[in-house]
Structure 1
Amino acid sequence: MLRYRLSVLTAAFAVATLLLPVIAHAELKMSSVFGDHMVLQREKPIHVWGWTKPGSDVTVKLADKSASAVADDKGRFDVSLDALPAGGPHQMTIAADEMIVFKDILIGEVWLCSGQSNMSWPVGSSNDADLESRAAKFPNIRLISVPQVGTQDPQHDFNGKWEACTPETVPSFSAVGYFFGRQLHQTLDVPIGLIDNAWGGSSAEAWVRRDVLESSGNFDELLAKWDDTAKTYDHDKVRAAYDKKLAKWEEIKKGARPREPRNPLVGQHRPANLYNGVLLPVLGYTLRGSIWYQGESNAGRAYQYRELFPLMIQNWRDDWAQSDFSFYWVQLADFRSESEQPSESSWAELREAQTMTMSKLANTGEAVIIDLGEASDIHPKNKQVVGKRLARWALAKDYGIEVPFRSPTYKSIEIDGNKAVVTFDHVGGGLDTFDVNQPMGFAIAGEGGKFFEATAKLVGKDKVQLVSDQVSNPKAVRYAWAENPVCNVQSKEGLPMTPFRTDDRPGITKGVVK
């Protein structure tokens, strides 16, 4: 235990020192992630940090635990408090030349809620918002949000505060985060702390440290593109042109109002911008894990996402210095017009890249929601089921609760004459269908590589048999391979089958890197 605590502090201190601006703090200061009403992680050493006068002795006390440190030459201090069981409320004091006191602190389970707009999408805009908000009377669920700041300069604080979950506070909070946390709270009967730092439209590369992307060697073209943009983009010039265009529009009021330009250099796509702006201020806060809903902005570069997504997760884990904390994500939902015939799909390729990540990193999991999307809206409103499917992963893997949690996944394929027989893992009580008895969503290809809709039949508990009048010698099978596939296979427990393909033909996003 002692070695673990020292390693956490050493690694976290190394990252913080590397990124910390050379500013000597004269007054005692804490990141806003620490404050009244916060939830601290139970049953793990609790990392606390802040800034004060360099060389000052600092003592932190919480409940019956205490730890001390000396602020370094930049004024940064880090301490590790012994683990506490769930409970509270407690009080924390941080004492140096001054003293800070935080009150109404609970000990429970802490999760980070991150990604793009489908994670930031609020309760107030989701299904049954009126009923959900009125019922959100959970004083032991605590919420905090990180404002959107995109920058290449490391940020160490933000404007935010912890609040108890009430009908007044929940409408603006992440719906997926809230429904996930509520399920944990009701099942485990412990306090829950949720940190929301999602940013709509964000690209995965914006969540990764610049030097990590550089060291990978897989993102040189992407970084070069942004470096060129940084050298040539003049926002003042763009803004001036917009002001002239707007003034002209104001005179005649004809056509659509010109859209105000956004500065890409401080937005949510530039590599490292969100790592520095919205992740770093909370990085190191002791937690159980993270939930993630993102990928839409990277769908056009799905092959690149195969490397980028696991790199991002590993970067977070390395810098958090809290072992391989749990990381669960939402696979992209169905979207756009339904596909009448098998076709190539960038969204299918992105889903494939997401699924691949489970085999690359431990303590990861994927909530499949291919049944919950909306053709005309990239933001499906049924966030309740999304949160519950993520919660199933956490309840099963982190808390030892026996609940179905993983969707059926492709295992193997056998060819029997003109039939393809596909076997699946994680089928629970057995494969089943939704809405109609006939399994839908399968396509089969022969020697020529062209896919045709297949007639499918469930065989036993874990197999699907496929045939097509147009394919006499099957070579490959695909399932739900489209932006918005018509598909209906699930486990008897209601978890939809994971989209897959058995071939490795180059997809339409292969080679797209920027």
Structure 2
Amino acid sequence: MTFLLFLLATACCLSSLHALELSGLYADNMVLQAGRSLKIQGKSAPDETVQIEIDGNVFSGKAAANGCWMIELPPQAPGGPHVFKIAAASGSKIFHNVLFGEVWLASGQSNMNMALQHTDQADAEIRIAEDPDLRIFRVGLKTSATPVSDVHGRWVAATPETAKGVSAVAWYFAKELRQELKVPVGIITASHGGTAAESWMSAEALHSLPETAGSYAGLQKSIQALEQAPTNVDLDDSNWMEEGIPLENWNRQKRRIHWDYELHPVEYDGVIWARKEIELPADWAGQDLILSLGKIDDYETTFFNGTEIGKTTQHTLAVRVYEIPGALSKAGKNLLAVKTFKIGWGGLIGPDKVMFLQRKGSEDKVPVGGEWLFRAAKLEFKMISPRLPTRLYNGMIAPLRQYPIRGVIWYQGEANAQPENAKKYRNTFAALIEDWRRAFDQETMPFYYVQLAGFKTNLGNGWPLLREAQRRTLEIPNTGMASAFDIGDPKDIHPGNKREVGRRLALWPLVNEYGHNKIPSGPLLREIQVENGKVRIFFNYGQGLKSNDGQPLRHFEIADKNRVFHPATAEISGESLLVYSSQVSKPAVIRYAWKDYLDNLNFSNETDLPASPFIADIPEKEYSHALRRPLTMFPI
């Protein structure tokens, strides 16, 4: 049977020289989205007929004058395998072992990027990671100044070998869908660590939003800086550990950050020196000393007054501690010099409080943190920084636009969690979601994301504000949030329990897209009422509100108009809470779990899913806080 379907004569970016071309996502072992019409796009010779054949059914279209073509296929049932053929006079392609199923894109920063092999119970999970109907496509790291049209990679079926390096969150999400739906699942991963939301937005979205206007302006400055950035550096550094060398070409580093931030907007590998003059008391002269330099990334050689005192020869983030013989120490000025070998981020990362010189056998210390001089001796160009605004959207998301997907899962926010940026994140994140929905031509494309896990930071209100921005993003239709606050790690920004994160994310599409009878979330603030100086709170997903440990609910606080918060009592009353404090007669603000990390959260619903943290102002008479009410201001 032959169907003649329409062609959309739109601009396409594949750079065909009159040869048949498609995105690299179209390949052997691919999973195509089932149950909905599919717009298959490509490029060929101008004005020629293009045909797609699946199981004897032929779908035809004609290329436009610019060679672009798009053929719309009718919805296909889940299953396979199929042979997928595309033919034109200018060429043909045949893809084998093709499945129709559910296709999701997984993106974000390092917690999405974290490989299965580095997570809790990884060995046991990898051993059983054999599923021919779960397919993975990993988008490689690519930055670009402009949107690119093609992507390189390959679809692979899940095996212990292919699964171990895949995003753990994406893996457990896809596995949950496979178990629940019993249909093929394809997961496309496109993520990179340490990246802010602005890196994943188009230039148009960035430019249009007041909250990201600064990022757009910074992008223009970075473009100018790129023109002056060297491709490579190769200097003679044989005397850089000595006193008296010229220092006019050395730069100042005032705080402990990775070298990548200092070299921004270009990323290099190479050798970077750091040096600092230290003033020692007169009675330290001739004394044996202990030097603590804190953590250094990657490896280094350390010199004191021109003499090597220690080194590491392989990558480690261990705190460097070296002994300095008394013959090297002198009263007055002494010189510390560190030759760091940068593979990746690199740098003296401290923190300052563990950087000191100490007289051996004494508690006396002289700090060596603070400002250092640094200079690159050898640099080899790697790439334009992926942390520049738009660069990852252009290089890793734009080329996916031609491939039909069901929706997106997202784990990001840590890089936006400085307090001032966190206050803007609600609108920034909303713009990103709208940007991607426009790019994939799906006005209500499902977009499900993770609320930041617990982690002890030095960012004040930054992480609570970011979580609040994430909660308020639920105002956008067809979004959902999986809170990970309760499964964090106070000392590790990359907590290991990604199984539960993936499971919680999967609950949202199982309910919204696939009609399963489940509760997708823990309690989410819906409405607040004031009753005689007490605050009654109603929740979405408030079925079976409870204390997980049988103890009184913790971490509720109330403040009056002076915004001085006091611990509050929270009592469960059906599907609502009654919250009050004897110290606050006229509550003006209420908040829950307003910390970067808490290890004893106990408020959930009948599913044991945790309640989301929140903060809300309470007008004097009454306050109703509906999820879909537009909110842009953050009470602090």
Distance in 2 between the 1:173 and 1:239 partners? 35
Structure 2 residue corresponding to 1:385, chosen from 478, 494, 500: 500
Structure 1 residue runs of 5 or longer lacking an equivalent are none
Distance, in Å, in 1 between the alignment partners of 2:343 and 2:94 is: 44
The 1:137/1:58 distance shift into structure 2, 3 A limit, reads same
AA aligned opposite 2:385: G
Counterparts of 1:331-346 in structure 2, within 5 Å, are 331-336=451-456, 345-346=461-462
Amino acid in the other structure paired with 2:80 = G
Corresponding residue for residue 56 of structure 1: 48
Return the offset for 1:52: 2.4
Residue 351 (str. 1) matches residue 467 (str. 2): yes
Counterpart amino acid of residue 349 in structure 1: L
CA distance in 2, matches of 1:237, 1:276: 22
Bigger mean CA offset, 221-230 vs 394-403: 221-230
CA RMSD for the aligned pairs?
A: 2.8
1:462 maps to 2:565: no
Q: Which amino acid aligns with 1:141?
A: L
Question: Residues 149 and 266 of structure 1 are in contact (CA less than 8 Å); yes or no, is this contact kept in structure 2?
Answer: no
In structure 2, do the counterparts of structure 1 residues 373 and 82 end up closer, same or farther at CA, with 3 Å as the change threshold?
A: same
TM-score normalized with structure 2 length: 0.72
**Is this contact kept in 2: 1:25–1:51, CA < 8 A?**
no
Q: Is the 8 A contact 2:273 2:338 kept in 1?
A: no
1:83 & 1:137 partners in 2: Cα distance? 28
1:410 and 2:525 matched:
yes
SS at match of 2:51: strand
| Contact 1:336 1:375 (C-alpha < 8 Å) held by counterparts | yes
Candidates 11, 31, 48, aligned match of 1:39: 31
Which of 452, 472, 483 is 1:368 aligned to?
A: 483
Query: Displacement of 1:418 after TM fit?
Result: 4.6
Q: CA deviation at 1:157?
A: 1.7
Counting matched residue pairs gives 490
Return 206-215 or 307-316, whichever deviates more.
206-215
Task: Identify unmatched segments of 5+ residues in structure 2.
Answer: 236-268, 276-299, 312-336, 346-380, 620-632
Report deviation, 1:24: 4.4
2:539 alignment partner, SS class: strand
Task: Find the counterpart in structure 1 of residue 447 from structure 2.
Answer: 327
Of 488, 497, 514, 2:611 maps to: 497
1:208-227 CA-partner distances (Å, limit 9, x unpaired): 21022223344222211221
Distance in 2, matches of 1:237 and 1:150, equals 16
One-letter amino acid of the structure 1 residue matched with residue 607 of structure 2? E
Query: Are the counterparts in 1 of residues 587 and 618 from structure 2 also a CA contact under 8 Å?
Result: no
CA distance in 2, matches of 1:91, 1:182: 25
Q: Any conservation in 1 of the 2:546–2:606 contact (CA below 8 Å)?
A: yes
Deviation at 1:199, TM superposition (A): 1.4
For 1:70, the equivalent position in structure 2 comes to 62
Match of 1:257, SS state, is strand
Residues 1:89 and 1:335: Cα distance change in structure 2 (over 3 Å): same
Moved more, 294-303 or 255-264: 255-264
Give the 5 Å matches for 1:279-318. Answer: 279-300=397-418, 301-318=421-438
Q: CA offset at residue 397 of structure 1?
A: 0.5
Aligned position for 1:483? 596
Q: Which moved more, 1:410-419 or 1:90-99?
A: 410-419
Q: Does 1:98 align with 2:98?
A: no
Please say which of residues 153-162 and 167-176 is displaced more in the overlay: 153-162
Contact 2:590 2:618 in 1 (8 A): no
TM-score (norm 1): 0.88
Q: Is residue 471 from structure 1 mapped to residue 567 from structure 2 by the alignment? A: no
In 2: Cα distance, 1:239 partner to 1:261 partner: 17
Separation in 1 of the partners of 2:273 and 2:76? 58
From the two aligned structures, give the one with the greater helix fraction: 1
Q: Give the match's secondary structure for 2:172.
A: helix
Pairing of 1:14-33 with structure 2 (within 5 A) = 14=10, 17=12, 20=13, 23-33=15-25
Q: In the TM superposition, what are the counterparts of 1:54-453 in structure 2 within 5 Å?
A: 54-96=46-88, 97-233=90-226, 234-236=228-230, 239=233, 245=272, 252=308, 253=311, 255=338, 257-259=340-342, 266-300=384-418, 301-336=421-456, 345-359=461-475, 361-428=476-543, 430-453=544-567
State the structure with more CA Rg: 2
The structure with the greater share of residues assigned to strand is 2
Contact 1:65 1:82 in 2 (8 A): no
- Match of 1:190, SS state, is coil
Q: Deviation of residue 264 (structure 1)?
A: 11
- For 2:523, the aligned partner's letter is P
Contact 2:25–2:152 (Cα < 8 Å) also in 1: no
Distance 1:261 1:166 in 2: 29
Q: Do the aligned partners of 1:28 and 1:51 also contact (CA within 8 Å) in 2?
A: yes
Distance 1:333 1:84, change over 3 A: same
Kindly state the Cα deviation for residue 77 of structure 1 after the two structures are TM-superposed: 2.2
Displacement of 1:488? 1.7
- Residues 261/377 of structure 1: CA separation in 2 closer, same or farther (3 Å cut): closer
Identity of aligned residues (%): 33
Supply the AA of the counterpart residue of 1:235. Answer: A
What is the distance in 2 between the residues matched to 1:435 and 1:370?
17
Tell me which residue corresponds to 2:240: none
State the shift of 1:306 in Å: 1.5
Q: Is the Cα contact below 8 Å between 1:264 and 1:270 reproduced in 2?
A: no
Q: Deviations over 1:429-468 (max 9, x none)?
A: x21122352101111112321112223222x222223333
What does the per-residue CA deviation read over 1:216-247, in whole Å, with 9 as the maximum and x for residues that have no partner? 34422221122112213543188558956459
**CA deviation digits over 1:231-283, x for unaligned, max 9?**
13543188558956459966844747254587898222222211110011111
